[in-house]
Amino acid sequence: MISEEIVHVNGHPKKLIIFLHGYQDCAGHIEHKTVGLQQLKDVALHIPEAPFLSEVDNTTRQWFSIRQFDPNDARRDTPSWEEFVELYNKMTVGLETAYQNIMEYADNLLNDYQLDYADLFLCGFSQGSMCAMYSGLMCPEKIAGVISFGGILAAQGYIENHYKSRPDVLLLHGREDEKIRIGALEFTAQNLRNLGCSVEQLSFAETAHKITDEGIAAAMKFIRAHS
């Protein structure tokens, strides 16, 4: 279960943003990247720590094991697009575990703030973005929106048969991303649109696998437009 978090509340919260960090990452890293989100009026920003210690470095966290599904990190350099996608499609069990933790956490916060699913934004970076998309699609009601930084629609085959709602989604990706290749942007956008989601997508030149100020500015614009 999620028991650690960083919280920023500005005004009287009418919207809840939950920002999920990446694999081998931590809430503190995300906090330094999200100053703009912290300044949004009448918003509560929660940055939770994943409940599991990293399988690679026990000073960081993970939402689920990657090496259980890709023990040799083949996803980073496999030449075949089909093999690349298939590795992420194997992660359904891990994503479902993350979803259970994330939605229990979100439900408790919504209850505390007396807000509804329609007031919830799920954001994420890398592995956190996969969890945000999966959770938004599996949520029993449509949430305010999903924002993905450097992610991919993982467990796509399972999602096609089991998704419960169609959130509006903003996809942000660096064109020089060395961990989740840029092709994931169009793949994710097209598959989300096939499910009936409204999708906005932006790519950033000379940008690697990271959260940028440009990305945060785009996220702030998306949140304002959906509030």
Which band of pLDDT confidence, cut at 50, 70 and 90, is reported for residue 78? confident
| Helix (H/G/I), strand (E/B), else coil: 50 | coil
Q: Indicate if the pLDDT at residue 79 is higher than 80.
A: no
Give the mean model confidence (pLDDT) for residues 108-136.
98
Tell me which DSSP letter residue 95 carries: H
Confidence at residue 29, expressed as pLDDT on a 0 to 100 scale: 93
Confidence at residue 146, expressed as pLDDT on a 0 to 100 scale: 99
Residues 168 and 147: their CA atoms lie apart, in Å, by 9
Residues 184 and 49: their CA atoms lie apart, in Å, by 25
Residues 15 and 44: their CA atoms lie apart, in Å, by 6
Confidence at residue 173, expressed as pLDDT on a 0 to 100 scale: 98
Confidence at residue 48, expressed as pLDDT on a 0 to 100 scale: 98
Which band of pLDDT confidence, cut at 50, 70 and 90, is reported for residue 37? very high
Tell me which DSSP letter residue 5 carries: E
Confidence at residue 208, expressed as pLDDT on a 0 to 100 scale: 96
Give one word for 193, left, alpha or beta, with left for phi > 0 and alpha for psi -120 to 50.
alpha
Q: Which of 73, 11, 72 is nearest to 44 (CA)?
A: 11
**Full-model pTM:** 0.97
* Averaged pLDDT score across all residues of the chain: 96
Give the mean model confidence (pLDDT) for residues 78-92.
89
Q: How many CA atoms lie within 13 A of 41 on its CB side?
A: 1
Distance (Å) of CA 141 to CA 120, 132, 137, 181: 11, 14, 9, 31
Q: Enter the CATH code of domain 5-225.
A: 3.40.50.1820
Kindly list the domain boundaries of the chain, sorted by start residue.
5-225
Q: Indicate if the pLDDT at residue 76 is higher than 80.
A: no
Least confident of 19-28, 68-77, 81-90: 68-77
Residue-by-residue DSSP string for 100-143? HHHHHHHHHHHHHHT--GGGEEEEEETHHHHHHHHHHHHSSS--
Which band of pLDDT confidence, cut at 50, 70 and 90, is reported for residue 141? very high
Which band of pLDDT confidence, cut at 50, 70 and 90, is reported for residue 75? confident
Q: Indicate if the pLDDT at residue 214 is higher than 90.
A: yes
The percentage of the chain sitting over the pLDDT mark of 70, rounded to a whole number, equals: 100
